Amino acid sequence: MRWRREREDKSALTEPRCPFCSEVFERPCDIPTELSFFYGGRCRCGAVYGCDPTGRNLGEVFADTLAFACDDDWDRAKELEEGKDYQIKELEYSPGEHRLLPGGRGYQGIRRARAKLIFLRIL
């Protein structure tokens, strides 16, 4: 008997919309910063988003996203408090299709490493 990988239902993929304003956002890209580059983007509403293609480096992506939202002012970024100074949302993402994945689960509820987007909005 040959093992067969089940295919994901593509109808479960959703349009890439900002969790703060519901506008469609652009595919993440490399944005030059003072130190190197930031892989993410900016929504029309002012929210910024960073992408972790592996889904396993969220701490660094969060820090970079917060600094990007503060115009590369790392000192200011360190002083901000979640809920008081900014809001944050984490989303599952399919970079190939540029789509969001609902529920954060793979096929039949199996958790798999996926790209993550961190959306952040300064209040």
Percentage of the chain exceeding pLDDT 70? 80
For residue 107, the number of C-alpha atoms closer than 13 Å in the C-beta half-sphere is 6
Q: Pairing state of beta strands 37-42 and 48-52?
A: antiparallel
Whether pTM > 0.95 for this model: the answer is no
Q: Is residue 112 over pLDDT 90? A: no
| pLDDT, tens only, 21-51 | 999 999 999 999 887 889 999 999 999 999 9
> Into how many domains does the chain fold?
1
Is residue 7, in this structure, part of any structural domain at all?
no
The residue ranking higher by pLDDT, 102 or 8, is 102
Q: Which helix (H) or strand (E) holds 62?
A: helix 58-69
pLDDT at 55: 87
Bridge partners, residue 25, by sequence: none
Q: What is the mean pLDDT of residues 103-114?
A: 52
Q: Containing domain of residue 87, as a range?
A: 13-122
Q: Is residue 5 scored above 60 in pLDDT?
A: no
Q: Is residue 18 part of a domain?
A: yes
Contacts by residues 28-37 (CB-CB < 8 Å, ≥ 24 positions apart): 28/95, 28/117, 31/68, 33/67, 33/68, 33/72, 34/72, 35/72
Give domain status of residue 92, yes or no. Answer: yes
Summarize pLDDT for 44-76 with one digit per residue, the tens: 999 999 999 988 899 999 999 999 999 999 999
- Say what the pLDDT of residue 11 is: 53
Confidence band, pLDDT 50/70/90 cuts, at residue 14: confident
